[in-house]
Structure 1
Amino acid sequence: MGSIVIDIPDGEGVAPSKIEKKKFDSSCQPIISFLREMKNKRHGMRKVIHSIKVGVALVLVSLFYLLDPLYKQVGDNAMWAIMTVVVIFEFFAGATLSKGLNRGIGTILGGGLGCLAAAFAQAVGGIGRAIVVGIAVFIFGAVATYTRQVPNIKKKYEYGAIIFLLTFNLVVVSGLRAEQVMQLARERLSTIVMGFIICIFTSLLVFPIWASDELHDSFVTRFEDLARSLEGFSKEYFENINEKEKKSSDNFISNCKSVLHSKSKDESLVNFARWEPWHGKFGFSYPWGKYLKIGEDLRDLATIILSLKSCLRPSTQLPEILRQSVKEPCEAIVASLAWTLRELGESITKMRKCGSEETIVPKLKSVRVELSRILTPSTHGTTVENTNGLGLAGLVYSLMEMVEKMEELTKEVEELGKLGGFHKNS
C-alpha cells in the first residue's frame, strides 16, 4: 500500500516520520518541563510579592494611628482606612481597582441617600421619624437586594451593591441628628478615600500583577495542552506501549479536563482586565470579550478530544491490521491539527496575525480531504466489517468535528487580531 501524506501548503514537506517525531518529542520534553517549572516558580514569586505589598499598604495606612499629627486629623475614623485596605486589596490590580471603585461608589450613594433620608425623618419628627426610617430601609433594602441579583450587575457590581446597602442602613438608622450624620459621613468617606488611594498606589505602581497578563498567558497554555492531548491520544491508540507509558499518555485526559474547568476563571479575569488601565501591550478598549468566545471554542474542542476516549475501549477498538492500515494518515492528521493549535496559540502570545488564509485554512482543507479518504475501502486495502466500520467512522467523525471547530477557532483568533491590533507576521 502506498504511503498517504497530507499536502502542506507552506512547502515544508510532509509530517515528520515516526523516528523523527520520537526524536522531536524527546528533545521538546525537557523544554516543556522547564517552562512549566518556571511558570510555577513565577506564580509562587507573585504570591510573595502580593503578600509583601499588602504588608506595606497596611503599614502605610496604620500611620494614621501611629503618627500623632495624622491621628489628630482623622481620629478613630482611621479604622475605616485600615478596613478599606484589608477588604479591597486583591491579588490582581484590576480586582483591586474594581473593588475599590465599587466600594467608593457604594459608600457615596449609600451615605448620601442615607443622609437625605435621615434629614427628612428628622424634619418629620415624633413617631413619624421612625415610620419614615422604616419605610426607607424597606424600599432601598428590597431594591438593592433585587438589583444585585441581576446577572450583569452581579458579575461586575455586586460588591458595590452590598456596600451601598450596608452604608445606607448604618447612616439612616443611626441618624439621630442630621448635622452629626453628615459630619460623620464626610469624615469616614475621607478616610475610606485615603485607604483606597494607598491600595491603588501600591497595587498599580509597585510590581503590578495584571489580570490581563494572566488571562493572555493562560490561553497559550490551553492551546498547548490540547495539542499535547491530541498527540497523547494518537500515541495510545496506534502504538503498543507498556503500562508505564500508557499511564503517562493518560495526561491527555487530565489536560482536557483542566481546559473544561476554565470558564469561571476566564469570566473573573476578563471582568478584572476590563477595569485595568492602559499598560504594556494592552491599550484601552482591548477586545477582552473575544477571549470568552475563544475559551468556549477551546472547551468545545476539549470535549471532542475527551470523546475520543471511547475509541480506546476494547468493544470499539479496531483490529490490529485495520488500525495499522490507517495509522500513517491518522498520525499525519493529528500532527496537522496539533500544529494548527500551536500556531494559533503562538499567534496570541506574540500578538501577531495568524495568517489563516495563507497557511491554516489550506492545511485544514487538506485534513478534510484526507479524512474522507480514510473511509474509502481502497485506502486501507482490507475488508472492513460492519462493527469495525462503525468504530472507524466514529474516529473519523470526531476528527472531522475537530476540523470544523478549529475552523471556527481560527476565525475567532483572526478577528481578535484585527480588533486587538496584532502586527503582521514578518
Structure 2
Amino acid sequence: MGSTVIAIPDGEEVAIEEKKKFHCSLLPILSFLKETKTKHDMRRFTHCIKVGITLVLVAFLSLLDPIYKQLGENAMWAIMTVVVMFEFYAGATLSKGLNRGIGTMLGGGLGCLAATIAQEIGGIGNAIVIGTSVFIFSAAATYSRSIPSIKRQYDYGAMIFILTFNLVVVSGLHADKVVHLARERLSTILMGFVVCIFTSFLFFPVWAGDELHDSLATKFEELARSIEGFLEEYFKEISKENQCNPSFHFSCCKSLLHTKTKDEELAKFARWEPWHGKFGFSYPWNKYLQIGEVLRELATTILSLKGCLQSPRQSSETAWQSIKEPCEAAGKSLAWTLRELGGSIKKMRRCQTGDLIVSKLKSMRVELSMAMSPSTLGQLENGEGLAIANFMFSLMEMVEKVEELAKEVEELGELADFHSKQRL
C-alpha cells in the first residue's frame, strides 16, 4: 500500500512568505512616496536656482551707472528686498512684496507728515509730537496685528509699517531730505519687487492653489484605501480568531490629521495669486478648508476603529456573520463614493452621480441600522454585543461624514463653477 507524503513548511518559510506578501503590498505606497519626494526635491532645487538668478539680476541692475548714480548706496535695499521677499510659492512672494510696499509707503508717508509737523512746531513741541505720534501709530499697528483677519493677510505689512514709520520719525532729518530718502528707498524696493515677481511668475512658478487643490483630491483616495484596508484586515482577523497589530492603513489617517496648518497656509497664499490655469479671481479657497476639516473628522473616525482590532474581547466568527455582508458592502460603497468625490475635485467637474451617491448613502444607513437592531444584538453575549455595537456605530458615523462631504463637494462645484461631463 502506497503512502502520500505531505510537505509541511516550517516556521521560517511561512515567515519569509508573509514578509514577501507584506513587501508586495507596500510597493505601491513606497513608489508613490518616492515619486512625491523626488518631485518635491526638484521643486526645491528649482527654487534655489531662481533665487540665485534673481539676486544676480538685481546686483547687475544696481551696478549699472545710470541706476547707481541715481540711487547710490541705497541700491542695497533692492538686494535686501529680494532676500526678504522671495518665497517658495508665487502667491507668498506676491503677498510679501505687496505687504512690504504698502507698509513702506504708509509708514514713510505718515512718518514724513509727523516729522514735518514736529519741525514746524519746534522746541519742546517737537519732542512731544514725535513721542505722541510714535506711541499712537505703533500701538495701533501692533493692535491690528492681533486681529485674526489682518494677521493672516497683512501681518508682515503691519510690521514693516511700524519699522519704517519709526525710522523716518526719529531720523532727525529735515522734511525735504526725508522725502528724498523715502523716494530712493521706494525706488530700490520697487526694483527688487519687479525682478522677484518676474522670476517667480514666469520661470517654473509654484502655485499654492495648485498644491492645495491636488492635495485635497489626494486625501479622498487615501481615506478610501484606508477604509478598504481596514475592513479587509478586520474580517480577515476575525476569521482567524486572533488579534493583530495596527495596520499601515492607518498611517495616512494620522498624517492627514496634521495637515490643517499646511492647508491654511496654502489657502492664504492662493488668495494672493493672479488668474492662472484653472483658477480665477475670488476662487472659493475657504470651501477647500471646510472640506479638509470634514476629511480630518473622517480620518479621526477611521482611527477610532483601530481599537476594534486591538480589543481584548473579540467576538466569534459566527457572531459576525450577520453583519459581515452589510459592513463589507458599506465599506465598498464608502470607498467608491470617496473616489468619486475626489475625482470630481481633481478634474473640476460636477459629480454626475450626485443623486446616486445620496441614495446609496441613505440606503446604506438603513441597512446598517437593521443590522444593529435589538433582535440581532440581543442574541449575542454582552461582550460580543458591545463590540459589534461599537464597530457598527463607528461605521454609521463614517457614512454620515461621507454624506456631509458629498454636500460640501457639491457646494464647491457650484461656487467654483465646475463643468459637467457633457462639456468634456
TM-score normalized by the length of structure 2? 0.88
Aligned residue number for residue 159 of structure 2: 162
| Structure 2 gaps, min length 5 | 1-21
Instruction: Please give the alpha-carbon distance, in whole angstroms, between the structure 2 residues aligned to 1:93 and 1:52.
Output: 15
SS of residue matched to 2:222: helix
Instruction: Please give the alpha-carbon distance, in whole angstroms, between the structure 2 residues aligned to 1:246 and 1:425.
Output: 44
Q: Deviations over 1:5-53 (max 9, x none)?
A: xxxxxxxxxxxxxxxxxxxx99997555544432222211111111111
Instruction: Please give the alpha-carbon distance, in whole angstroms, between the structure 2 residues aligned to 1:159 and 1:65.
Output: 26
2:250 to 250, 253, 260: 253
State the AA in 2 paired with 1:105: I
Aligned residue number for residue 385 of structure 1: 381
Q: Deviations over 1:112-166 (max 9, x none)?
A: 0000001111111122212211111111111111111011111111000000000
Offset of residue 61 of structure 1: 0.8
Instruction: Please give the alpha-carbon distance, in whole angstroms, between the structure 2 residues aligned to 1:387 and 1:321.
Output: 14
Instruction: Please give the alpha-carbon distance, in whole angstroms, between the structure 2 residues aligned to 1:362 and 1:387.
Output: 34
SS of residue matched to 1:160: helix
Q: Give the conservation status (yes or no) of the 8 Å contact 1:53–1:202.
A: yes
> In the alignment, is residue 83 of structure 1 matched against residue 80 of structure 2?
yes
> In the alignment, is residue 406 of structure 1 matched against residue 423 of structure 2?
no
Aligned residue number for residue 59 of structure 1: 56
> In the alignment, is residue 420 of structure 1 matched against residue 416 of structure 2?
yes
Instruction: Please give the alpha-carbon distance, in whole angstroms, between the structure 2 residues aligned to 1:175 and 1:94.
Output: 37
2:128 to 124, 131, 147: 131
State the AA in 1 paired with 2:409: V
SS of residue matched to 2:111: helix
2:65 to 58, 63, 68: 68
State the AA in 2 paired with 1:92: Y
Aligned residue number for residue 339 of structure 1: 336
Larger mean CA deviation between 293-302 and 220-229 belongs to 220-229
User: 1:316/1:116 Cα in 2 relative to 1: closer, same or farther (>3 Å)?
Assistant: farther
Instruction: Please give the alpha-carbon distance, in whole angstroms, between the structure 2 residues aligned to 1:328 and 1:153.
Output: 53
Aligned residue number for residue 395 of structure 1: 391
Aligned residue number for residue 146 of structure 1: 143
Q: Give the conservation status (yes or no) of the 8 Å contact 1:317–1:391.
A: yes
Larger mean CA deviation between 214-223 and 254-263 belongs to 254-263
Q: Which structure's relative contact order is higher, taking Cα pairs within 8 Å and 6+ residues apart?
A: 1
What is the total number of aligned residue pairs between the two structures? 398
Aligned residue number for residue 94 of structure 1: 91
Instruction: Please give the alpha-carbon distance, in whole angstroms, between the structure 2 residues aligned to 1:316 and 1:332.
Output: 24
Q: Give the conservation status (yes or no) of the 8 Å contact 2:244–2:309.
A: no
Aligned residue number for residue 16 of structure 2: none
Aligned residue number for residue 347 of structure 2: 350
Instruction: Please give the alpha-carbon distance, in whole angstroms, between the structure 1 residues aligned to 2:91 and 2:287.
Output: 18
Q: Deviations over 1:244-282 (max 9, x none)?
A: x966x6223221121111111111111111110011111
1:228 to 222, 225, 229: 225
User: 1:195/1:281 Cα in 2 relative to 1: closer, same or farther (>3 Å)?
Assistant: same
SS of residue matched to 1:279: coil
Instruction: Please give the alpha-carbon distance, in whole angstroms, between the structure 1 residues aligned to 2:164 and 2:264.
Output: 28
Q: Deviations over 1:279-308 (max 9, x none)?
A: 111112211111011011111111111111
Larger mean CA deviation between 270-279 and 32-41 belongs to 32-41
SS of residue matched to 1:326: helix
SS of residue matched to 2:102: helix
State the AA in 1 paired with 2:383: T
Aligned residue number for residue 178 of structure 2: 181
Percent identity over the alignment? 64
Instruction: Please give the alpha-carbon distance, in whole angstroms, between the structure 2 residues aligned to 1:373 and 1:316.
Output: 23
Q: Give the conservation status (yes or no) of the 8 Å contact 1:63–1:70.
A: no
Larger mean CA deviation between 356-365 and 269-278 belongs to 356-365
TM-score normalized by the length of structure 1? 0.88
Instruction: Please give the alpha-carbon distance, in whole angstroms, between the structure 2 residues aligned to 1:46 and 1:113.
Output: 41
Larger mean CA deviation between 324-333 and 300-309 belongs to 324-333
State the AA in 2 paired with 1:409: L
